[in-house]
């Protein structure tokens, strides 16, 4: 009887891990603000993404980049429209994979960023607090 819960936990952890294996970065968007949850993003690329989601304001969304054979692919979900997604893809394509790997790490990451959990990262984010 104890083996079924153990197998279930192993399966959930395995699926969670496999979904992130090829991920380069994950940026969460809330109320026109962008927060790096996982990975490394060049400062100039992140600034461009922040400008793209700020005006007009994107309520909620996700920006994820994945490794591919030809370099990388950007995928956006949530309230990010096709025009903004294309603008971010154009910016993303300007950066080779080597630049992504050597981008600065998150400065003073929160527990949410260390664990890669967006809601926790937003809850613990100190960058917008007075």
What CA dihedral angle connects 103, 96, 39 and 55, to 10 degrees?
90
Question: What is the pLDDT at residue 70?
Answer: 78
DSSP state of 39: E
pLDDT band of residue 130 (cuts 50, 70, 90) is very low
Q: Let me know: does 32 contact 55? Beta carbons within 8 Å.
A: yes
Q: Pick the closest to residue 24 from 12, 4, 40 (CA basis).
A: 40
The reported pTM is 0.81
Question: What is the pLDDT at residue 18?
Answer: 67
Say whether pLDDT at 111 is over 80: yes
Q: How far apart are CA 86 and CA 75, in angstroms?
A: 10
Q: What percentage of the chain has pLDDT greater than the value 70? A: 92
Say whether pLDDT at 41 is over 70: yes
Q: How far apart are CA 19 and CA 111, in angstroms?
A: 20
Q: How far apart are CA 17 and CA 6, in angstroms?
A: 16
Q: Pick the closest to residue 103 from 27, 28, 24 (CA basis).
A: 24
Say whether pLDDT at 59 is over 50: yes
Average pLDDT of the chain to the nearest whole number: 87
Say whether pLDDT at 113 is over 50: yes
Question: What is the pLDDT at residue 57?
Answer: 93
Average pLDDT over residues 44-50: 95
């Amino acid at each position: 009887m104890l083996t079924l819960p153990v197998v279930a936990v192993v399966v959930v952890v395995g699926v969670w891990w496999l979904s992130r294996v090829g991920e380069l970065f994950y940026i969460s968007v809330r109320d026109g603000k962008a927060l790096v949850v996982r990975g490394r993003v060049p400062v100039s690329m992140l600034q461009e993404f922040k400008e793209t989601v700020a005006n007009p304001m994107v309520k909620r969304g996700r920006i994820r980049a994945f490794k591919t054979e030809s370099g990388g692919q950007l995928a956006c979900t949530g309230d990010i429209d096709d025009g903004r997604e294309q603008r971010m893809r154009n910016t993303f394509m300007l950066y080779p994979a080597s630049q992504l790997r050597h981008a600065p790490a998150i400065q003073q990451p929160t527990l949410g960023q260390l664990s890669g959990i967006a809601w926790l990262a937003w809850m613990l984010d100190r960058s917008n607090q007075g």
